[in-house]
Structure 1
Amino acid sequence: MKEDVCTSRKAAELLGVTPRTIQLWADAGILDSWKTPGGHRRFSLQAVEQLSSDILSGQHHQPNEGLNGYRTQTTSQTNSKSPGNINVEPARVLVVDDDKTLLRLYELTLASWGLPVEVILANDGYQGLIEVGRFNPDLLILDLQMPNIDGFAVIEALQQQKLLDQMCLMVISGLENDEIAQRISLPESCTLIQKPIPFLRIREQVENILLQK
């Protein structure tokens, strides 16, 4: 194999994720790839290194200055307890929405609960899919109408890799149910909610996740 070409496993090692995450990113078009005549996926080493550079640069930006508006914020409370008064690992919550004002509202509201929660915010589907692979969220809160990779494409990519079985999905959208149904068939486990954001239901979901940890 040429030195400037690598396999899924090698790409996973270089990026510090699982081969399954590499497949997710390839299917979503985040990481360019092609298949050999034998059906094996291959990646340009340059593309892998570029993605690694983008991810690393995004980690070091201050809030509101990240790559494509991407930002992270941890709101976990080390000494907080779950609803059952037992210390647990934080619930990992990934919020993907292109409205930065709403992202800030999510951040402040979840932090105000005093629950052990670790929150990652992303303002488009591209960054959202990167964080799904890196963050492995317990709960994904997803908007549908976004630039670049929209919420529909995110769901399709997650379904293709069977990753929705590993997380709770809450789709919060201003679209009507029939408009969504024309675009995609949501999984039965998905909670579909119309805007405005139902923070009480989100809190209930987070508490349920904490009780299961």
Structure 2
Amino acid sequence: MKEEVCTSRKAAEILGVTPRTIQLWADAGILQGWKTPGGHRRFNLSEIQQLALSIRNPEEMPPLSNTLPTQVQPVKVLVVDDDKTIRRLYELTLASWGLPMVVHFAADGYEGLIEVGRQAPDLMILDLQMPNIDGFAVIRALEQQSLLTQMKLMVVSALSEEDVKANIALPESVTFIQKPIPFARIRDEVERILLSS
């Protein structure tokens, strides 16, 4: 039976992520596990291996659209983050909610601005520190085009609020949250958009 139990470190090796990511996924409910009396996380090895397969083969994941009620207009969400693992974390977590959403991803600010034009998202989740065009430049571009009145923008960054304010004055409509990713608040925002539509 011992081989069926998996530590955080082993799970991280199997999934190709850091132990910190394993903690985030466990907190977000993506990984079902338990804690030992000493406070160490443990997981079912077969579930970790199954998740590893789904990460390597995302086309095998069940499509989110199967769980969407047809009478509700899906919320269009755009996640802009250069970290591939973080994007996958968003994908798995948002899909696990079963809410009517269409989620698109961009790996930097340049792609993000292109997707804004293509998708006209209801909610944009934006990282700040990215290659090419960073999140600060994205916010300035959205302001110049008066697009912040047409979407909800949540900035999720490892930077402190003071560091952000040193670079840009965030409009009042923009929500700034320091990492770790605030999935509960993101879900609240999606539900608020659904109720108002």
TM-score, length basis structure 2: 0.67
- For each residue in 1:157-192, what CA deviation from the matched residue of structure 2 results, as whole angstroms up to 9, or x when unmatched? 000010000000000011111111111010101110
Verify the 8 A CA contact 2:110 2:132 in the aligned structure 1. yes
Q: How many residues align?
A: 139
Counterpart of 2:144, as a letter, is Q
| Alpha-carbon distance in structure 2 between the residues aligned to 1:108 and 1:198 | 14
Q: Deviations over 1:192-212 (max 9, x none)?
A: 001000101000000001111
Q: Which residue of 2 aligns with 1:147?
A: 131
Q: Does 1:136 pair with 2:120? A: yes
User: 1:171 and 1:74 mapped to 2: Cα distance?
Assistant: 29
Q: Does the aligned pair in 1 maintain the 2:126–2:155 contact within 8 Å?
A: yes
Partner of 1:199: 183
- Aligned partner of 2:170 in structure 1 is 186
* Whole-angstrom CA distance in 2 between matches of 1:74 and 1:98: 24
Query: 1: CA distance between counterparts of 2:193 and 2:106?
Result: 21
Residue ranges of structure 1 left out of the alignment (5+ in a row)? 1-62, 65-72
Runs (4+) off by over 6 Å: none
- Alpha-carbon distance in structure 2 between the residues aligned to 1:107 and 1:87: 23
Aligned residue for 2:143, secondary structure, equals helix
- Provide closer, same or farther for how the CA distance between residues 187 and 165 of structure 1 changes in structure 2, counting only shifts above 3 A: same
Deviation at residue 79 of structure 1 after TM alignment: 5.4
Question: Within 5 Å, which residues of 2 pair with 1:33-182?
Answer: 76-77=64-65, 80-81=68-69, 87-182=71-166
CA distance in structure 2 between the aligned counterparts of 1:76 and 1:106, rounded to whole angstroms: 13
Kept in 1, the 8 Å contact 2:67–2:99? The answer is no
Unaligned 5+ runs, structure 2: 1-54
Q: Distance in 1 between matches of 2:63 and 2:152?
A: 19
| % identical aligned pairs | 63
Distance 1:178 1:151 in 2: 16
**How many angstroms does 1:78 deviate by?**
5.4
Q: Name the aligned partner's letter for residue 104 of structure 2.
A: I
Q: State the distance in 1 between where 2:100 and 2:63 align.
A: 7
Could you tell me which amino acid in structure 2 is paired with residue 180 of structure 1?
A: V
Task: Provide the alpha-carbon RMSD of the alignment.
Answer: 2.1
Q: Residues 205 and 75 from structure 1, CA distance in 2 versus in 1: closer, same or farther, beyond 3 angstroms?
A: farther
The answer (yes or no) to whether the contact 1:75–1:117 under 8 Å persists in 2 is no
The amino acid of 2:119's aligned partner reads F
